[in-house]
Chains A and B, each alone.
Chain A
Amino acid sequence: MTKRLAWAAAVLTLCAIPDAAYAMHITEGILPAPWAGLWYLVAIPFVAWGLRELRLRSSSTPFFKPMVGLVGAAVFVISCMPIPVPVVGSCSHPAGTGLAAILIGPALTAVVASIALLLQALFLAHGGLTTLGANIVSMGIVGGLTGYAVFHAARRARLPLWVAAFLAGLLADWATYATTAFELASALHGNGSLGGMFGAIALAFLPTQLPIGILEGVLTAGVYRFVQSRRPSLLECLGVLPGRAA
């Protein structure tokens, strides 16, 4: 018990080393006010849906709130850890929302991502308050929905759990960055072509995000292998595996 707590504290403390942000979140002041407002408007219904989902599922499943708390901590840690990509000479981070979406669903993924992004914007200068809506949409909503959809589509195609989880993590990460590229291009393309700018930004993300996406897929698959071997009944209750749904 003590060893486990010490590990968890060490990870969170390392993550919390304060310095400038080195990440994909859109930084403060980059989006013009109308675009920043628009992305807030897009994000709010999803967060409200997630809060409703939390209330409903918590009343029927006692372990659901601890699970959301644990997944939220994981998303916070994963999405603030810069990982260098030596071949490219730059660094970025995974998002963790594909992983979250399989366990707690896409609605609650939007909620935990919102909390993580708000804390990062307030205390780590990572992202920003004006760009919070856009960052919630790319990481929490699009990342979560993609991870959830890919995982369940892969399971319907009878792929093994770890393969489905790998694909969910990989594609959720890439979808997050594609959305960030779209958000930037739509606000900043000016008189130029939206498609051209989107393509240029997405291509610029590609060399760093290609390996980070694969790493995120491996991480997601590893977590699900762990949960499956340690406590498969948890996945059954959450509806991830066929069986008893709570």
Chain B
Amino acid sequence: MRKLSAAVLAIVILAAVSVGLVQAGAWPGVDETVVEKYATAAGRPPQSPLFDPGEGDLRVFVFLIAGIVGGFVAGYYFRELFPRKSNPCEKSR
């Protein structure tokens, strides 16, 4: 359990650092440095999204709710799949 917590903590820190650096414009993504570059050179620059989810706090709120719901669902299934001692084959019979 400690190893798992350490791994999850590492992922959270990595995600936070990554998102922070990327949002600060420190490192552009390969969509920009590769895909967009070649597409623009070929006369097919990227367009705005067909479905625009908007900007601002409403969008943050929606994603916060989605994150919480997704987190609870993932946690529920994780517990179901990885209990301390059980046999899924016996359960399926």
- A residues near B (Cβ < 8 Å) are 1, 3-19, 21-32, 60-63, 66-67, 69-70, 73, 76, 81-86, 89-92, 121-125, 128-130, 180, 184, 187-190, 197, 200-201, 204-205, 208-209, 222, 226-227, 230-231, 233-234, 236-237, 244, 246
**Residue ID in chain A nearest B49 by CB atoms:** A125
Nearest-Cβ distance from residue B90 to partner chain A, whole angstroms? 9
Tell me which residues across on chain A come within 8 A of B32, comparing CB atoms: 22, 90
| Contacting pair B35 A184 (CB below 8 A) | yes
A13-B64, A200-B38 known; A70+B31 contact, CB < 8 A: no
CB closest residue in chain A, given B83: A231
Q: A18-B53, A67-B81, A123-B63 are in contact. Are A4 and B75 (CB under 8 A)?
A: yes
Q: Which residues on the B side are within 8 Å of A67 (C-beta)? A: 77, 81
A27 touching B75, Cβ below 8 Å:
no
**Do most interface residues of chain B lie in helix, strand or loop, or is the interface mixed?**
helix
How many residues does chain B have at the interface if contact means C-beta atoms less than 8 Å apart?
70
- Evaluate contact between B70 and A21: CB separation under 8 angstroms: no
Question: Do B75 and A63 touch across chains, with their CB atoms under 8 A apart?
Answer: no
B residues with CB within 8 A of A: 3-5, 7-9, 11-12, 14-19, 21-23, 26-39, 42, 44-53, 55, 59-60, 62-64, 66-68, 70-82, 86-89, 91-92
Give the Cβ gap from A161 to chain B, nearest Cβ, in Å.
17
Determine if B79 and A4 form an interchain contact, defined as CB atoms under 8 angstroms apart. yes
The answer to whether B19 and A14 touch across the interface, beta carbons within 8 angstroms, is yes
